[in-house]
Structure 1
Amino acid sequence: MKNLFCPISNERINEQVPRITALLVIVAVVLAFALDSLVVMAFVAADFFIRAFTKIKFSPLSCVAYWMTQMLNLPAKPIDKAPKIFAARMGFVMSLAFAVLFAAQLNTAAVVIAGVLVFFAGLEFAFAFCAGCTIYSYLVLPFYKN
Structure 2
Amino acid sequence: MKGIVCPVSIEKIDSNVSRLTVFINVVLMGLFLFSQNPLFIGIVACDYFIRAVLKVEYSPIRFFAINIISALNVKKKPINLAPKIFASRLGLICAITAAILQLLGYSTGALITAGLLMVLSIMDSVFNFCVGCLIYNYLVYPFYKDKN
TM over 0.5: yes
Instruction: State whether structure 2 residue 79 is matched by structure 1 residue 79.
Output: yes
Partner residue of 2:22? Answer: 22
Amino acid at match of 2:102: F
Kindly provide the CA deviation profile for residues 73-127 of structure 1, in whole angstroms up to 9, marking residues without a partner as x.
1111000000000000001000000000111111111111111111111111112
- Equivalenced residue count is 146
Q: What amino acid sits opposite 1:126 in the alignment?
A: V
For residue 38 of structure 1, what is the aligned residue in structure 2?
A: 38
Deviation of 1:58 after TM superposition, in Å, equals 3.3
Structure 2: which amino acid aligns with 1:43? I
Q: Which residue of the partner structure matches residue 132 of structure 1?
A: 132
Q: Secondary structure at the match of 1:4?
A: coil
- SS of the aligned residue for 2:126 comes to helix
**4+ residue segments displaced more than 6 Å:** none
1:120 counterpart SS class: helix
Q: Counterpart in 2 of 1:122?
A: 122
Q: What is the CA RMSD across the aligned residues, in angstroms?
A: 1.3
Instruction: For 1:38-117, list aligned pairs within 5 A.
Output: 38-55=38-55, 57-117=57-117
SS in 1 for 2:13: strand
1:143 Cα offset (Å): 1.0
More displaced 10-residue stretch of structure 1: 31-40 or 100-109: 31-40
Distance change in 2, residues 1:5/1:56 (3 Å): closer
Cα distance in structure 2, aligned partners of 1:61 and 1:32: 16
Say if 1:80 and 1:56 are closer, same or farther in 2 by CA, change over 3 A.
Answer: closer
Task: Give ranges in structure 2 of 5+ residues lacking alignment.
Answer: none
For structure 1, the residue ranges without an aligned partner over 5 or more in a row are none
Q: Secondary structure at the match of 2:85?
A: helix
AA of the residue aligned to 2:11: E
Kindly provide the CA deviation profile for residues 25-56 of structure 1, in whole angstroms up to 9, marking residues without a partner as x: 11001112323321222111011000001135
Question: What TM-score comes out, normalization by structure 1 length?
Answer: 0.94
Q: TM-score, length-normalised on structure 2?
A: 0.93
